[in-house]
Amino acid sequence: MTENNNAQEQMEVTSSTLSPRILKKKKGIFRKEWLSINEYSSWLQEVKHDSTKARCKSCLKTFSVHSDGKSAVKKHMISNGHKNSMKSFDENKFSLSQFITPENELDKISAAERVLVFHGVKHGHSYRSQQCTADLARSIFASSSVAKSMSCGKTKARSIACNILGPYFTKQIVHDLSKARYYSLSVDASNKGNCKTFPFAIQHFSEMGV
CB burial readout 163-192, b (16+ within 10 A) else e = eeeeeeeeeeeeebeeeeeeeeeeeeeeee
Nearest 5°: CA angle at 121, between 118 and 125?
125
pLDDT band of residue 158 (cuts 50, 70, 90) is very high
pLDDT band of residue 73 (cuts 50, 70, 90) is very high
pLDDT band of residue 99 (cuts 50, 70, 90) is very low
Which has more confidence, 72 or 25?
72
* Residue of 15, 14, 75 whose CA lies nearest to 40: 75
Cα dihedral across residues 13, 16, 22, 27: positive or negative: negative
Tell me the CA distances in angstroms from 22 to 17, 41, 65, 113, 146, one per residue in order: 9, 28, 15, 59, 56
Measured distance CA(176)–CA(137) in Å, rounded: 34
Domain segments of the chain as ranges = 31-100, 103-179
pLDDT at 24: 46
pLDDT band of residue 162 (cuts 50, 70, 90) is very high
Sheet containing strand 61-64, strands side by side: 44-46, 53-56, 61-64
pLDDT at 34: 92
Residue 209, phi then psi, degrees to nearest 5: 120, -165
Q: How far is CA 90 from the centre of its chain?
A: 22
Residues in Cβ contact with 41 at an 8 Å cutoff, skipping those fewer than 6 apart: 35
